[in-house]
Amino acid sequence: MSQKVREEMVPRLRQRYAQRNKAGKGVMIQELVEQFGYSRKHAIKLLGAKAGWGGNLGVKKGRPPTYGAEVEEVYGRIWQAAEQPCGKRLVAMRQWWLGPYEQRYGKMAPELKGKVKAISAAQVDRLLAGRKVRVGSRGRSGTKPGGLLKTQIPIRTDNWDVTQPGYLEADTVAHCGNSLEGDFIWSVTYTDLYSGWTSNRAVWNKGAEGIVARTREVEEHLPFELLGFDCDNGSEFLNWHLVRYFQEREKRVGFTRSRPYHKNDNGHVEQKNWTHVRQLLGYERLEDPGLLEEINRLYREIWEPLHNFFLPSMKLVSKDRHGAKVKRRHDQAKTPCDRLLASAQVSKKAKSQLRQQRAALNPFALHEELEARLRRVLHRALHSSRPTASLRSEPDAAIKELTTVS
């Protein structure tokens, strides 16, 4: 039935249908099914013209929405401050964010709070669909092959036992802009395979001594013992400084490398290049050495606590291929802190310290401090790397373009 025919016939059919008895209505329904190929249920709805369906096009079909603008505002603020996670991660993190939310924006009414706690992950995604944006671009690879120690540092040929924390993957990201020439800042990322606990540090020119110093600093602040270290084939990792650091100790740390040109071997840390580095500092060139310590404080005091204590992630449990389709199953979204608290290998003292650290933090305060410090870093980086007159005259617009954290 075309739209024009339907508009002409359906009102008359409805009038006749309303005047028929039960048997007569059944005959009309059967005729509509046979003539136009509708299902019986669809024909009943079409002729019955129930409120909100098939009649007034201005009336929204279906039942009224359960979650309105107030629920959207609550989740929108959390989503904005939590680096724009998906609905599953938002639902998992709300137990840690609702308390600080009420401290920042005031107490919620009991009815509103009940809806905020009852909403499903899928409904959160639908509710926030209008707010979500996509921002992204591709950078350059700065990995220079290091061939000196390839025979001394073995390739990891098996999967580490990831039933306990302590096995780290490491990778570097170049803040070089469009050229790898000259001196600039690099970010080093360390990720624990079991928990997802991630630490970032900035180094100048990724020299061996700088990498060792930052690795030592990260290890001192880990809430678990370092058992293994895996990296790519870059010269910043394959050097005698790092070999001696891991091997010349009472309890040696396993030191392995991935296969050349196989990024998936270090997939746990490679996926952090966007979420933990590019999303924060973007792709611009950072060539001012004075920014080094400021970026390290930003990583250490704000970025690391925000991700490790308040932003959950989901780990892949299984992946099955059915023809051309791949079905992936993930576990429940948990923060790295929660995964460590659930581990029997983490000491009670370390767990107590983790709980105390999280209790002393407010995620909304961390987000506001992040915005303030990041703006200063990018403003300084902008004027040190591209001090043109046009950018000086409109720094706010340029910084807004550079800032990828909402």
Contact predicate 42/48, CB 8 Å? no
- The model carries a pTM of 0.71
Give the mean pLDDT per block of 10 residues along the chain (406 residues). Answer: 69 83 89 84 78 52 81 91 89 91 91 92 90 51 50 59 85 88 92 93 90 93 92 86 88 86 82 89 89 93 94 89 89 93 92 94 93 89 56 41 43
Beta 316-322 vs 254-257: how paired, if at all? unpaired
Predicted confidence at residue 217, as pLDDT, reads 94
Structure tokens at 336: 């790295």
Predicted confidence at residue 47, as pLDDT, reads 82
Predicted confidence at residue 199, as pLDDT, reads 94
Predicted confidence at residue 6, as pLDDT, reads 66
Predicted confidence at residue 170, as pLDDT, reads 92
H helices then E strands: how many in the chain?
Answer: 19, 7
**What letter does residue 334 receive in the DSSP assignment?**
B
Strand order in the sheet with 167-174: 198-204, 185-192, 167-174, 228-231, 254-257
Predicted confidence at residue 84, as pLDDT, reads 87
Which among 179, 181, 199 has a CA at the least distance from the CA of 190? Answer: 199
Predicted confidence at residue 396, as pLDDT, reads 47
